[in-house]
Structure 1
Amino acid sequence: MSRPERNVQIAKSVKVIEWLKTELLDQIANLFKGLHHANQTLIADSLASLIIVTYVLARRVGLTFREVDQSVTRKLREHARGKHQLEDWYGDLSRLEEYINKR
């Protein structure tokens, strides 16, 4: 790859990362709107978009999907055993870990 082509690729990568960051913010705003209006469809759509953007952003910065999954699983395990309030009150973290492990 020639130097000008490489520079174009770098610029394109930076632009995509910046776009993904704005997409994260946009979806968080949509999630808050959905929560405010109790709109289940908007809430589900925003959460799904946030998950997708997170995986794609991770890939763009050099992580694999597997690495993200492993980090999520490790974090869930740490929080569940560390007596995180969501785990103590509702068991959410161990349930999510169980769900992910069964997929």
Structure 2
Amino acid sequence: MSHPERGMQIAKNLKVIDWLKTEILDQIANLFKGLHHANQHLILDSLASLVVVSYVLARRVGISFRELDQAVVSKLREHIREGHQLENWYGDLSSLEQHMNKR
């Protein structure tokens, strides 16, 4: 790849990263609207979009999907070990860890 083509790829990648950052903010706003209006469809759609954008952003910055999955499981185990309130009260973190390990 020549230098001008490489420069174009870098610029394109930076533009995509900026777009993904705005998409995260947009989906957080939609999530808050969904929660405020108790709109299950909007909540689910926003959460799904946030997960997708997180994976794509990770890839754009050089983190593989597998690495992200491993980091999520590692973070869950850390919070479980430290007695995070969501784990102590509801067992949410160990449930999510089990789900992640089944995939």
* TM superposition outliers: structure 1 runs of 4+ over 4 Å: none
Q: 1:74, CA displacement in angstroms?
A: 0.4
- What RMSD, in angstroms, separates the aligned Cα atoms of the two structures? 0.5
Given residue 11 of structure 1, which amino acid in structure 2 is its aligned partner? A
Q: 1:99, CA displacement in angstroms?
A: 1.1
Q: 1:58, CA displacement in angstroms?
A: 0.1
Q: Tell me the SS of whatever aligns to 2:79.
A: helix
1:35 & 1:57 partners in 2: Cα distance?
Answer: 25
Aligned to 2:7: 7
Aligned to 1:60: 60
Gap regions ≥5 residues in structure 2: none
Aligned to 1:34: 34
1:17-58: per-residue Cα shift (whole Å, max 9, x none)? 000000000000000000000000000000000000000000
TM score, norm. by length of structure 2:
0.98
Instruction: Give the total of aligned pairs.
Output: 103
Gap regions ≥5 residues in structure 1: none
**Residue 91 of structure 2 is aligned to residue 97 of structure 1:** no
Question: Larger deviation: 32-41 or 93-102?
Answer: 93-102
1:64-79 to 2 correspondence within 5 Å? Answer: 64-79=64-79
Aligned to 2:85: 85
1:58 & 1:100 partners in 2: Cα distance?
Answer: 17
2:42 & 2:17 partners in 1: Cα distance?
Answer: 24
TM score, norm. by length of structure 1:
0.98
1:59 & 1:90 partners in 2: Cα distance?
Answer: 32
1:14 & 1:72 partners in 2: Cα distance?
Answer: 25
Q: Tell me the SS of whatever aligns to 2:13.
A: helix
1:90 & 1:3 partners in 2: Cα distance?
Answer: 54
The percentage of counterpart residues that share the same residue type is: 75
Q: 1:2, CA displacement in angstroms?
A: 1.2
